[in-house]
A and B are shown apart, each in its own frame.
Chain A
Amino acid sequence: GESVGLHLPTLSVQEGDNSIINCAYSNSASDYFIWYKQESGKGPQFIIDIRSNMDKRQGQRVTVLLNKTVKHLSLQIAATQPGDSAVYFCAERNMNTGFQKLVFGTGTRLLVSP
């Protein structure tokens, strides 16, 4: 079936390093992707999104890259801070299956050491 998955379950970095979190998706019809940050005991927090007609989008300290050829999505966090420690999920949406109905990936835990 369709799935969105991540390569690394846990990523440990030092404060100030750049972090890269990866996500693979299998549904070629996916047309919209979102990265969420989830802190312990809280709901997902929107970080950045990208549509399938783009290959890169930048925000504040974050960049999302989309490679449709290999169905790969990544989240880059520059100058990672201890406050960035959380679980990060990619999510995909396919307008053919439903508008805001999101399929979430398995998640990557980011641990930032001071």
Chain B
Amino acid sequence: GAVVSQHPSWVICKSGTSVKIECRSLDFQATTMFWYRQFPKQSLMLMATSNEGSKATYEQGVEKDKFLINHASLTLSTLTVTSAHPEDSSFYICSAVLDRNSYNSPLHFGNGTRLTVT
């Protein structure tokens, strides 16, 4: 079946540094990728929608200058957390879909990246 890979699976960084998280669709071309954030014991909250070759669409309350998203190819989207602070510590999950407008195009999730900012 379709696989979405995230890298790294976990990362620890110091406050003020930037961290890049990669999301790759391994066996299909993902026209759209979604980035979610999940705090402990909470649900997934959509941060932004990433479309290949265009600017990402951010959800209300998500700082686009802090969470930089690049979707340069049909198999790769990256999320960069700039000037990370401890409150950015969270579980970041991406998902990918071939055809965002089709019910028959399932959404595949990566296994997440645990970010800890010290």
Contact = CB atoms under 8 A, between A and B. Distances in A.
Q: Do A and B come from one complex?
A: yes
Interface string A8-46: 000000000000000000000000101010000111111
A98 B32 CA distance: 12
Given A99-B100, A100-B32, A43 B93 contact: yes
A2 to B, nearest CB: 13
Interface residues of B, number: 26
B67 interface: no
A102 B103 contact: no
Contacts of B42: 106-107
Nearest to A105: B43
Contacts of A101: 34, 46, 49
A68 interface: no
A34 B107 CA distance: 10
Given A100-B97, A101-B49, A107-B43, A43 B34 contact: no
A102 B49 CA distance: 11
B46 A43 contact: no
Given A100-B97, A105-B43, A106-B43, A41 B107 contact: no
Nearest to A5: B43
B29 interface: no
Nearest to B94: A43
Contact of B112 (A32, A43, A46): A43
A106 B79 CA distance: 24
Contacts of B4: 43
A34 B111 CA distance: 18
Given A98-B100, A103-B46, A104-B43, 19 more contacts: A36-B109, A41-B91, A41-B111, A42-B111, A43-B4, A43-B95, A43-B111, A46-B107, A99-B100, A100-B32, A100-B97, A100-B100, A100-B105, A101-B49, A102-B46, A104-B45, A105-B43, A106-B42, A107-B42
Interface of A: 32, 34, 36, 41-46, 51, 89, 98-107
